[in-house]
Structure 1
Amino acid sequence: MEARDDTNKLSSKRLTGKVAVITGGARGIGAATAKLFAENGAHIVIADILDELGAALASTIGGRYIHCDVTKEEDVESAVRLAVSWKGQLDIMFNNAGISGSGGSITSLNMEDVKFLLSVNLNGILHGIKHAAKAMIEGQRKGSIICTSSSAAIMGGLASHAYSLSKEAIIGLARSTACELGKHGIRVNCISPHGVPSEMLVNAYRKYLGKADMKPEEVCKMVRDSGSLLRGRSASIEDVAQAALFLASEEAGFITAHNLVIDGGYTTGTSSMSFIYQ
C-alpha cells in the first residue's frame, strides 16, 4: 500500500511550504488566489504585466513579483526560474493570465486579433505547463499545474468565437499533458469559472449593453437571477480562488485531467421547467 505524506494535514494551512507561480496574478482571480495561497502557507511569485499592482500585492503577501508577458516563452521561463532560485523548488503553477478579445460575426473576424488572443490565452498556458513541468521533473517534487479555462469551453453562446476556441483548447491541452506528466506525480487540471464579476466580464457587459457605468453588483444580480441554478447566489472571485486552492492542495492528490466547473450548475441543467417538480 502506498504511503501518504500527511505533513500538511497536521496544519490548518493547506499549502505550507509550497512554492507557487501565478500568471495574471496582479488583480482579479489571480490576486484573490495569490492572497488565499499565501494565507495557506505558500510562497508566491506573481507574474504579470501590471507592474505596479503586482509588485504592491507581492509586497503585502511576502511574495515576489516579476514582469511576465505570457506570449513570450522566455518571460514565463524566467518566472519559473525565479521561483526555483528563490525557494529551491516549484510545487504549483497557476496558469491564469488571459484576455477576452473582440467579438463579432464569424464572417468578419479579424484574424490578427484572433492570433493575438490565442498567443495569450493558449500559448501562454502552453508556456506555463512546459516550463513548470520541466522544473517539477528536475526537482522531483511532483506538483500541481492549474489552468484557467471557462464555462464558454463547454457550452456554446457564452463568449466570442475566438475566446471560446482558446478556452476549449486549454482543456484539451491540460488532459493531454496530464497523460504524460502523471508518471512524474504531476497533476494537471483546469478550472472553468462562469459569471464571475471580474474586470474582464464587467467590461464586456459594459460594451455589449452600452452601459459604461455598469457595476459589478449588477452583473452579480444578472447571474443570481438567470445564470445559476442556485437562485440568489452569484459567483465571486473568491469562489474561483477556493477551487484553485483545492486543486493545488493534497486534498486533490488523486485528481488530474479534470475540469472543475464553477458555474452554479448553469452549464449542466436548467430550471426553466421547474414546474414539473411541484
Structure 2
Amino acid sequence: MSLTTAQSRPVQLPTLFLCLLAAALIWLLNALNKNSYTVNVQYPIEFVYDQKQFVPTSPLPKTVTVSITGNGWKLFRQSWLPFRSSPIRYPIAHPLKTKFINTASLATSLTDHAKDVRVNFVAGDTLELNFDRLAAQEVPVVVDSAGIDLAEQMVVSSLINVSPRTIRFEGPARLLRGVPDTIHVKIPARRLALSYDEELRLPIPRHPLLRASADQVAVSFEVAELLQPLPPPPAPQPEKPAAASKPAKASKSSKTKPDRRK
C-alpha cells in the first residue's frame, strides 16, 4: 500500500487581504461606537469687528485648537471634516484695547455652537491680537524738473504732465506716518534730445498692509532745440542813496531885531 503525501494548498493573497480589511473595519466600527473619547481639533474661527475703522497688524488665526470629548463617530466627523462646520464668530468690540482672545468666552461660545460634543478648553497658542486704526492719506507727485538731463542746446518746451498727480495710501495709522508728504520722481533718461513719454515706478514705501492707489505714474513732456541763447538776466539796479534832509530855515520871528534905543 503506497502512502501519498497531501499537497499544501497555496495561500490566496486577495482572500487574505479581504479578511484583514473586514476585521479592521469591524474593529473600527466597534471603537467608534464608544463614548468618552478626547481629541484636539482645529476649529474654524471668524473675527467680527468694524473693518472700516480698524485693521489687524498681524495675521488673524483662521482656526483655534480645541480639546473636545464625545462619541467616537462625532469626534471622527469633527476631526476629519472640521471645515464643513460653520466657523465660530468671535466679536471684538474694542480692537485697539483687545490684545488676546478670551479663551473662556470662546469655549462657552463653542459649547453652544457644537452641542454634540463637550468642549474641554481652548489651547493657548496663536491667541495674540494686534489692531491699529485704519487711515488714509493723499500724497502729491512732483517731477524733479531741475534734475532732467538734457542734451546740449535742448530745453523742456512744454508743461510736464504727470498722471496720476496724487497717490492715495490706505493702511494702519502707524505705517502712514512713514509716508512722505510729497513723492519726488526723477527722470532716469540721460542726454535727452527727444520728447519724453514713459511710465516710471514710484519711490514709495512697500508693506503688505499698506495699499497705494498706484505704484507708477506716466510722465510726458516736449523737448526742443534752443535756437538762440537765452538773454542774460537783467543786472540788479543799484539802490539810490536817500536824499539828505535840508536844514530847517530859521523863522522870521526868531531873528534878532536891532536895538534902536540910544
TM over 0.5: no
More helix per residue: 1
More strand per residue: 2
Question: TM-score band, normalised by the shorter chain?
Answer: under 0.3
TM-score of the pair, normalised by structure 1:
0.21
TM-score of the pair, normalised by structure 2:
0.22
